[in-house]
A and B are shown apart, each in its own frame.
Chain A
Amino acid sequence: MPLDASSSTATVWAILRKECRSEWRTRYGLNAAVLFAVTALTAVTFAAGRMPDQPGMLAALLWITLLFAALSSMSHAFVREVESRTLLLLRLVASPTEIALGKLLFNLVFLCVVEVITVPLFLVLTGAPPVRWAPFLLILGLGTLSLAASSTLVGAVIAQTRSRGALFAGVSLPLLLPVLASGVAGTRAQWDGMPIDADARLLAAYAVALFGVSLLLYDHLWED
């Protein structure tokens, strides 16, 4: 565990900037992720059609699209390091927790960028009813936090296995089902005009729990 909070912050910040710069330079990850998200979105909305009066269905489809967009793009943060063999460099300049935090923040930013493109597109293509922005964004934000926390940890584990891509979705899913459940319920509730407190609280608690537990575990991930 890092002993000095301010130097750790600087390290995490350096790693985050490095990730962003690296992503910006190659743009492979972002391009692929946005393309996939839009493709998934198109397929879903085309098949389902316009649904101005089915908030339950809308909520479900939105979260499924986001889930798949996340599952397809999040694993690459660590897999890339393993494949380019730069993980050793990282381990020599930062602690496992610092590395993980940097990657987590990057994954969060990445997901937000993907969502900024995907969510409005979804609302338009499905003819969704007007959104109550504050609750909608709150549920979305909290769910994204859990998506990022889970994907970072699972990504770090999966990067060290043999069949990375195939495993990532399957191993992540149990961890993300609570997010799916509360996310759909909360998103639906804001369209139904119901309060979202319970769902928001659940999502927040879950994100905190995931984040907290994973912080304790990162130290054990790289020992060889």
Chain B
Amino acid sequence: MIWRILIFLWIATTMVVALLGAPLVPVLQETTRVLYFHIPSAWVTVLALGWSMINSVLYLIRRDMRNDDHAAAAAELGLVFCIVATVTGSIWAKSMWGSWWNWDPRETSIFFVLLIYGAYLALRGSIEGEEKRARLSAVYSIVAFVAVPPLIFVVPRIYSTLHPDPIINGSGKIDMDPMIRWCFFSMLLGFTFLFTWLQSLRVRVSRLERRLAT
């Protein structure tokens, strides 16, 4: 209960401050605002994917259904955040470059991740028997992990980029106004909390469902 309120307050406050108080990035102008929800969504997408895959490996080693709960929950949430990231990115692309979709490397990467999530969940939906479902989807998840580095890092390099990398390079040098930087990282954190909370809820539901089926 308290978490729900805290997370809400955190994100709401940051959002208000960011939208009203923070300056605009010169290149982006009004579309600066996309920084505050598009990138955090993309970040959570990747976080969820990683968490799902780690739990898949753990499941195969330990055969503990809790790992499967986490893997599946993370995949579901990841899919949602991925859709959000893709759609917000597309809207931003339209306003920035005039077209909804460009097969720009970053766009391409996020789309590929969407496909992986979709395939994983479709696979889960078609297997009967919880042990079998857990095992086979874990196998697929691990193989998909092999595809991720090429899809995210390599394939995009083959094509040129329109993405504003120099300004918003997530892991490298951050060349931003301090106010923007604060709001941005704060949102990043807020979204991470959001994901963690939703994940814990979803896992609890899974566990309850399983106990009910007994």
Contact = CB atoms under 8 A, between A and B. Distances in A.
Given A153-B143, A213-B143, A177 B155 contact: yes
B122 A170 contact: yes
A160 interface: yes
Interface string A141-178: 00000000010011001101111000100110111011
Contact of B128 (A162, A167, A213): A162
B119 A174 contact: yes
Contacts of A153: 139, 143
B158 A160 contact: no
A160 B147 CA distance: 22
Q: How large is the interface on A (under 10, 10 to 19, 20 to 34, 35 or more residues)?
A: 20 to 34
B17 interface: no
> By DSSP majority rule, is chain B's interface helix, strand, loop, or mixed?
helix
A202 B115 contact: no
A189 to B, nearest CB: 11
Interface in A177-224: 177-178, 181-182, 185, 202, 206, 209-210, 213-214, 217, 220-221, 223-224
Contacts, number: 87
Contacts of A158: 123
A115 B132 CA distance: 35
Q: How large is the interface on B (under 10, 10 to 19, 20 to 34, 35 or more residues)?
A: 20 to 34
Contact of B151 (A163, A178, A217): A178
Interface string B47-80: 0000000000000100000000000000000000
Contact of B112 (A157, A177, A213): A177
A171 B150 contact: no
> By DSSP majority rule, is chain A's interface helix, strand, loop, or mixed?
helix
B144 A175 contact: yes
Contact of B154 (A154, A178, A223): A178
A181 B143 contact: no
Interface of B: 60, 112, 115-116, 118-119, 122-123, 126-129, 131-132, 135-136, 138-140, 142-147, 150-151, 154-155, 158
Given A181-B158, A210-B143, 9 more contacts: A157-B136, A157-B140, A158-B123, A160-B136, A161-B127, A163-B126, A174-B151, A181-B150, A210-B146
19 contacts: A153-B143, A158-B123, A163-B126, A170-B118, A171-B119, A171-B140, A174-B112, A174-B144, A174-B151, A175-B147, A177-B112, A181-B155, A181-B158, A185-B158, A202-B150, A202-B154, A217-B60, A217-B143, A221-B135
